[in-house]
Amino acid sequence: MAALTEADELQVASMSGTSTATDTVSSLRERLIDATIQLLSTEGLAALTVRRVSRICDVSTMAIYSNFSGMPGLLRAVGSVGFAQLNTRLSECAISDDPITDILVLGFIFRDEALHKPELFRLMYATESPKAEVKLNRGNILSGSGDSDFENFAESFDHVVRATQRALDAGLIRATNARAAAAQFWTGLYGFIQLDMAGLYGDEGLTEVLLPSIVNILIGMGAEPARVQQSVTRVAQLVLSPSQDPVTLT
């Protein structure tokens, strides 16, 4: 990795209160990532340039090339932060004695993260592509190979896989394998979120579209309708209660 310019090191060291090279580089990386996320959230992917990000941090453009080898590396780091945050939220979902309830709650958490961080979500899941010269490998959730450019990509999806495996082990659903079944849940959820973010469902999307669609997938996998309804009722109490903070879904 190329060294930072002396001016960049002094700039960051004075702001962070440390003069060590390690702390300087770490602090600068975090500042560049934070600035990129902020710019992304306010102006979208089209606004992201090396010059804009470096100007926000008051450093030379060389700082981005030294720390991330350019914009592709910076976007990989930003996406990795997004997946780390998503993984943290999903990890907070307590494992209950009802895996179907857990699958539904994980879906609501995923939706909540997407609605609160729409531009970051679009980068993470390629719903809006970066500039043509920026190539990002987002990984293959069916293979679980861990080849994604984004750290924590596989880990975040594995929460759904584990809940689905528990449903299979309990005989609540039938499927060839847990990963493929989990991908079906995530595909339905992902499509819903895209239209939900566009405002096409109004206030009735959760109860009129999302829950029924996931229920239909579950029943199609052999789940007993009455058993699924019990889980839906439980999730409604956990997630849709008017008295509950809408951001706290676990």
In a shared domain, residues 29 and 105: no
Question: DSSP letters along 17-75, please?
Answer: T---HHHHHHHHHHHHHHHHHHHHHHH-GGG--HHHHHHHHTS-THHHHHHHSSHHHHH
Residue 248, in any domain of the structure: no
pLDDT in tens, 121-144: 988 887 655 554 567 777 777 877
Residue with tokens 């934070």: 34
Q: Are 98 and 204 contained in the same domain?
A: yes
- The residue segments making up the domain with residue 177 are 78-239
If asked whether residues 50 and 153 sit together in one domain, one would say: no
Residues 18 and 108 in one domain: no
In a domain, 250, yes or no: no
Looking at residue 103, its pLDDT comes to 93
Q: How many domains does the chain have?
A: 2
- pTM here is 0.80
Instruction: Give the 3-state secondary structure of 236-249.
Output: HHHHCCCCCCCCCC
Q: What is the pLDDT of residue 127?
A: 60
pLDDT tens, the chain, 250 aa long = 444 443 444 444 444 444 444 447 678 999 999 999 999 999 998 899 999 999 999 999 999 999 999 998 999 999 999 999 999 999 988 889 999 999 999 999 999 999 999 999 988 887 655 554 567 777 777 877 667 788 888 889 999 999 999 999 999 999 989 999 999 999 999 889 989 988 898 888 888 898 888 889 999 999 999 999 999 888 888 776 554 443 333 3
CA atoms within 13 A on the CB side of 200: 10
Residues 137 and 157 in one domain: yes
> Domain for residue 179, yes or no?
yes
The answer to whether residues 54 and 105 belong to one domain is: no
Same domain, 222 and 110: yes
- Residue 245 is predicted with a pLDDT of 43
Report yes or no on 174 lying in a domain.
Answer: yes
Tell me which of 47, 69, 91 is where a domain ends. Answer: 69
